[in-house]
């Protein structure tokens, strides 16, 4: 590779960074991915502590990833990950009621996060344009006359140095220091919004047996009706990956008895049955997530050319709704479309395209969070109305397969939320969502 040829540098080799590198390789003859960690095959690594917890890939995200990396789903399946139909092959409980088991046209890829990342990393590494540098941490930007021309890095045990780049893409995740870095070079800093949810996760793996859950491969218990929820999916290695979650400080314990007892308080017994029946393969591990954070780069009055922010660095969502990887993939697809149209005024075009995807997921997830009385935030009449409507949609989805299908396609970020407002669907939701109530839910006493 010619060292004078255009060079893009991606900071962070998480899901966003890998997808960004794959997209950038179409346009830049040299793409360098700088990662603070060392890679560990398909094992979880230090820089991505969330990888030890259940990572549901929404069908909207899988479809976009497949567009960017054709055949990847098959490779992940060949590495051992099962697939299943979202509602016909697994169980979704919304507000304590099981969504009607019907064909949705949605196939879920049940891979652990490290396996998905491993698959993407292999794809990126196979591109001749892409080079990885491990154990290299970014800690600032280099700017000349208002343009970002490189990044300051330090290698473990080595000196600080500058890496020159025509484009730097920050994919360092929710702890991104992009605002501080921009301030330090005299550039505008984006406004930031956050919704504090004080979510705690505790996750553990168990050996899967075919008779568990009547042969179904996943169960999701949403938290809409209370502060506690959980999920269990069968991932590669024929293991149950079980994650329990609690909002607003109601965190699941990490000892065997406490973990099992927490599972018993969920509104339905499925997860508790799994954790009491299956052989544990690991100890529970915790994760704490303070809140969703959105940085409004699209509102900046001016952008330094040569710098973009993508993935959790741009917006980090409440993980309960499993949107982060999908929205990162949608942003990577947006970046590809922007680059195909040329590099002139790239940041402005990218951020306005990315904001359209972020807006949808942000409104859905923060709106649902505000349904919990303890979450601080402005509940506009629109949010209150929508939350009451979503509650009805949950109840209607229990008895009406057409509503269940429509709801799951929106939750999977395949169809836009507006499809739930079409006259036919509104009529079904209002009629079928009238009176059903979850049976004996412990959540109601919380």
Q: Is 143 in the site for ligand FAD (CB under 6 A)?
A: no
Q: Is 48 in the site for ligand FAD (CB under 6 A)?
A: yes
CB of 211 to ligand FAD, least distance (A): 26
Asked if residue 111 lies in contact with residue 57, where contact means CB atoms within 8 angstroms, the answer is yes
Residue 247 CA to residue 243 CA, distance in Å, equals 13
**Rg of the chain, C-alpha, whole Å:** 22
CB atoms within 10 A of CB 387: 18
Q: At 391, is the secondary structure helix, strand, or coil?
A: helix
- Stretch 79-138 residues interacting with ligand FAD (CB under 6 A): 137-138
CB of 424 to ligand FAD, least distance (A): 30
Residue 273, judged by CB atoms within 10 A of its CB (0-12, 13-18, 19+), counts as middle
Residue 125, judged by CB atoms within 10 A of its CB (0-12, 13-18, 19+), counts as middle
Residue 434 CA to residue 196 CA, distance in Å, equals 32
Per-residue x/- track, 163-192, ligand FAD (CB under 6 A): --------xxx-------------------
Find how far residue 239's CA is from the centre of its chain: 21
- Identify which of residues 9 and 403 has a Cβ nearer to ligand FAD in the complex: 9
Q: Is 31 in the site for ligand FAD (CB under 6 A)?
A: no
User: Where does this chain touch ligand FAD (CB under 6 A) — which range of 118-126, 183-191, 265-273, 307-315?
Assistant: 307-315
> Among 27, 123, 287, 405, which residue interacts with ligand FAD (rule: CB under 6 A)?
287
Q: Is 53 in the site for ligand FAD (CB under 6 A)?
A: yes
CB of 310 to ligand FAD, least distance (A): 7
Q: Is 246 in the site for ligand FAD (CB under 6 A)?
A: no
> Among 8, 9, 16, 375, which residue interacts with ligand FAD (rule: CB under 6 A)?
16
| Contacts with 70 (C-beta within 8 Å, 6 or more apart), sequence order | none
Residue 360 CA to residue 140 CA, distance in Å, equals 31
Task: From residue 414, give the alpha-carbon distance in Å to each of 59, 78, 90, 107.
Answer: 7, 25, 18, 11
| Contacts with 341 (C-beta within 8 Å, 6 or more apart), sequence order | 349
User: Where does this chain touch ligand FAD (CB under 6 A) — which range of 7-15, 90-98, 357-365, 430-438?
Assistant: 7-15
> Among 9, 111, 325, 360, which residue interacts with ligand FAD (rule: CB under 6 A)?
325
User: Where does this chain touch ligand FAD (CB under 6 A) — which range of 6-14, 96-104, 142-150, 179-187?
Assistant: 6-14
CB of 409 to ligand FAD, least distance (A): 16
- Cα angle value 351/407/440 (rounded, 5°): 125
Residue 83 CA to residue 416 CA, distance in Å, equals 24
Per-residue x/- track, 196-215, ligand FAD (CB under 6 A): -----x--------------
- What single string gives the DSSP state of each residue in 211-254? TGGGG--EEEE--TTSSEEEEEEEETTTEEEEEEEESTT-PPPS
> Among 47, 140, 391, 417, which residue interacts with ligand FAD (rule: CB under 6 A)?
47
> Among 9, 13, 124, 169, which residue interacts with ligand FAD (rule: CB under 6 A)?
13
Residue 353 CA to residue 334 CA, distance in Å, equals 6
Residue 53 CA to residue 51 CA, distance in Å, equals 5
Q: Is 315 in the site for ligand FAD (CB under 6 A)?
A: no
Q: Is 259 in the site for ligand FAD (CB under 6 A)?
A: no
CB of 33 to ligand FAD, least distance (A): 9
User: Where does this chain touch ligand FAD (CB under 6 A) — which range of 48-56, 63-71, 141-149, 396-404?
Assistant: 48-56
> Among 59, 166, 298, 312, which residue interacts with ligand FAD (rule: CB under 6 A)?
312
Q: Is 21 in the site for ligand FAD (CB under 6 A)?
A: no
Q: Is 56 in the site for ligand FAD (CB under 6 A)?
A: yes
CB of 311 to ligand FAD, least distance (A): 3
Residues contributing to the site for ligand FAD (CB under 6 A): 11-17, 34-37, 47-48, 50, 53-56, 137-138, 171-173, 201, 287, 289, 311-313, 319, 322-326, 328
């Amino acid at each position: 590779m010619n060292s004078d040829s255009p060079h893009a540098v991606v900071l962070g080799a998480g899901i966003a960074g890998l997808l960004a590198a794959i997209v950038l390789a179409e346009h830049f003859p040299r793409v360098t991915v700088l990662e603070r960690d060392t890679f560990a095959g398909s094992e979880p690594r230090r820089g991505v502590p969330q990888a030890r917890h259940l990572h549901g890939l929404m069908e909207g995200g899988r479809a976009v990833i497949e567009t960017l990396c054709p055949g990847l789903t098959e490779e992940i399946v060949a590495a051992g990950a099962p697939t299943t139909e979202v509602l016909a092959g697994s169980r979704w409980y919304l507000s304590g009621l099981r969504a009607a088991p019907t064909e949705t046209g949605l196939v879920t890829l049940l891979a652990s996060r490290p396996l998905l990342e491993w698959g993407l990393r292999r794809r990126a590494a196979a591109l001749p344009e892409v080079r990885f540098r491990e154990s290299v941490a970014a800690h600032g930007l280099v700017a000349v006359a208002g343009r970002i021309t490189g990044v300051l890095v330090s290698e473990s045990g080595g000196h600080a140095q500058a890496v020159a780049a025509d484009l730097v893409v920050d994919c360092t995740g929710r702890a991104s220091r992009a605002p501080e870095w921009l301030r330090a070079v005299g550039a505008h800093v984006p406004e930031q919004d956050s919704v504090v949810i004080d979510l705690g996760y505790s996750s553990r793996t168990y050996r899967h047996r075919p008779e568990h859950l009547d042969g179904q491969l996943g169960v999701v218990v949403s938290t809409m009706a209370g502060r506690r929820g959980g999920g269990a999916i069968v991932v590669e290695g024929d293991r149950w990956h079980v994650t329990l979650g609690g909002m607003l400080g109601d965190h699941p314990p990490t000892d065997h008895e406490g973990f099992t007892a927490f599972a018993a308080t969920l509104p339905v017994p499925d997860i508790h049955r799994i954790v009491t029946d299956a052989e544990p393969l690991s100890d529970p591990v915790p994760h704490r997530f303070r809140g969703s954070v959105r940085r409004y780069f699209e509102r900046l009055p001016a952008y330094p050319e040569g710098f973009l922010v993508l993935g959790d660095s741009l917006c980090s969502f409440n993980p309960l709704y499993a949107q982060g990887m999908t929205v990162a993939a949608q942003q990577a697809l947006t970046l590809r479309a922007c680059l195909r149209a040329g590099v002139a005024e790239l940041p402005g075009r990218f951020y306005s395209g990315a904001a359209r995807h972020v807006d949808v997921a942000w409104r859905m997830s923060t709106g649902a969070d505000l349904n919990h009385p303890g979450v601080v935030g402005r509940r506009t009449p629109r949010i209150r109305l929508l939350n009451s409507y979503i509650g009805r949609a949950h109840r209607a989805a229990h008895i009406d397969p057409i509503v269940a299908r429509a709801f799951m396609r929106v939750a999977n970020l395949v169809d836009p939320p507006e499809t739930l407002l079409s006259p036919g669907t509104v009529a079904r939701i209002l009629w079928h969502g009238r009176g059903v109530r979850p049976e004996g839910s412990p959540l109601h006493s919380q």
